[in-house]
């Protein structure tokens, strides 16, 4: 069993950091993307991805997945994406630095884009944990299993159900 964890809004709290940076709130439940005008403001922080806080439950999620992949001779890795408009040139290095700081043993794979993630699904036992519905749907169409991440307790319950 191979497990691929998205980084932004799964283990790294992208949304909270963006809202703090912009000093505003918007409803993440109604849209998976922030308004373009807000995204344009975020680009002014060229190292935005380097300073993301950990999401609640991140260590529990990674530890659980680490144990699960070790017990099945699989691998665990982060599967993250570049900003869709190439607008943050340090995104790749900052995401790798971030992962090394928080989870040094988990390698980072770059999608390269969000809509490319499904290409990494090679086996029916490959699992994607991602906050974006479309990524999960495409992963399932490619033959794997996926969970739309909202929080660790719901994800843990999903894992327990599929490993029965």
Domain borders along the chain are 3-162
pLDDT at position 84 = 73
pLDDT at position 37 = 85
Cα–Cα dist 68/105, whole Å: 15
pTM over 0.85: yes
- Omega before residue 135 within 30° of 0, cis: no
pLDDT at position 29 = 59
Laid out side by side, the sheet with 127-130 consists of 108-110, 76-80, 3-5, 127-130, 145-148
pLDDT at position 54 = 98
**Residue 94 contacts residue 47 (beta carbons within 8 Å):** yes
CA dihedral 91, 11, 36, 20 (to 10 degrees): -100
Q: How many CA atoms lie within 13 A of 153 on its CB side?
A: 0
Cα–Cα dist 23/147, whole Å: 30
Q: Which fold does the domain 3-162 belong to in CATH?
A: Rossmann fold (3.40.50)
Query: What pLDDT tens digit does each residue of the chain (164 aa) get?
Result: 999 999 999 999 999 999 999 988 766 555 566 778 888 888 888 899 999 999 999 999 999 999 999 999 999 999 999 887 777 889 999 999 999 999 999 999 998 888 899 999 999 999 999 999 999 999 999 999 999 999 999 999 999 999 88
Q: DSSP for 59-112, please give it.
A: HHHHHHHHHHHHHTT--EEEEE---TTS--TTHHHHHHHHHHHH-TTS-EEE-S
């Amino acid at each position: 069993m191979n497990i691929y964890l998205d980084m932004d809004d799964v283990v790294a709290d992208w949304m909270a950091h963006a809202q703090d940076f912009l000093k505003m709130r918007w409803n993440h439940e109604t849209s998976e993307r922030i308004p373009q005008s807000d995204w344009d403001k975020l680009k002014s922080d060229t190292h935005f991805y380097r300073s993301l806080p950990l999401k609640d439950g991140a260590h529990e999620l990674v530890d659980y997945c680490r144990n699960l992949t070790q017990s099945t001779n699989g691998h665990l890795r982060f599967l993250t994406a570049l900003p869709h408009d190439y607008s943050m040139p340090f995104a790749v290095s900052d995401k790798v630095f971030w992962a090394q700081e928080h989870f040094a043993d988990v390698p980072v794979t770059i999608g390269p884009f969000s809509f490319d993630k499904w290409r990494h699904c090679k086996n029916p036992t490959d699992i994607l944990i991602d906050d974006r519905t479309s990524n999960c749907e495409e992963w399932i169409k490619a033959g794997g299993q996926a969970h739309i991440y909202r929080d660790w307790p719901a994800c843990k319950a999903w894992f327990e159900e599929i490993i029965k």
